[in-house]
Amino acid sequence: MVLSENSIFPSSIHAFDLIVADECHRGYTAQEESKWREVLDHFDGAKIGLTATPAAHTNAFFKHMVYRYDYERAVKEGFLVDYDAVAVESDITINGAFLNEGEEVGLVDTGTGQISFEFLEDQRELPAPTTEIDWTAPDRNWKIIQEVKKYLLDQEKQLGHFPKTLIFAQNDISHISHCDQLIRILREEFNKGDDFVQKITGNPNVDRPLQRIREFRNREKPGFEELKSQIVISSWCDNGFSPISVLGFSRCGPVGERKNEEVEFGHSN
């Protein structure tokens, strides 16, 4: 449905008695409300929002909390696994980057992937929230992966096998894919062959993603000698995992809507 000032809704305001908005922490801020709020405001039925990460604007729009299912309860009842979190601070993730006049930068043609280099004529500030969206800092990604690697190798010593690891990248957009960048870094860091690190996203260049998810999720405690995918890269918008046996988890980008200052790494107990 495409809306504008001249939009004509295909249904009357009484068309629905109940409207359920999933992931309702998204799309209701002042900046985004034109995308979703116009739809919700059009209909007069009861509105229920579902989210695991409620924000102030979520409560402001939906008013009353009808039901709350806490993380601690979900762990006790066996629906989620517990975790230990390790914060990896990144100055670029927190503050972004500032480039001075005369610095050389690489420019990627988003249509072809071709890279050209030029020297900046003016100073340029690169805001932290746009990291891996409008710009990338490869050295930042290298350092984050190297830090994550330390914890994975420690877990390998403790467990006697390398832990299955799921890493969420910022995106998997052609020619500027954060997923592909992380895959290159991980393969070079671990040096266990291309099969050791795999990408599972909704990108058409990924072969049989649902089958790969099942294989990754259901395989029990595989060892290095199998050289199967031990590390899987996904993107935030392609989150189709329910990896109950995954022992490693990493976020390589700003965390959540609040643009967190740190990258988190955790493992289930």
188 C-beta neighbours (distance < 10 Å), count: 11
* Residue 23, SS3 per DSSP: coil
E strand or H helix at 152: helix 138-159
5-29 residue pLDDT tens: 445 456 788 888 998 988 887 765 5
- Rg of the chain over CA atoms, in angstroms? 21
SS3 56: helix
What is the reported pTM? 0.69
- Chain centroid offset of residue 229 CA: 19
Residue 84 DSSP class:
E
Model confidence pLDDT, tens digit, residues 225-261: 333 456 676 765 444 444 434 445 555 655 544 444 3
**Cα 5 off chain centre by:** 33
Let me know: does 265 contact 248? Beta carbons within 8 Å: yes
pLDDT along the chain (269 residues), means of 10: 47 86 72 68 87 81 87 88 78 88 90 90 89 87 90 88 84 88 92 87 84 75 45 57 48 49 45
77-94+137-268: CATH topology is Rossmann fold (3.40.50)
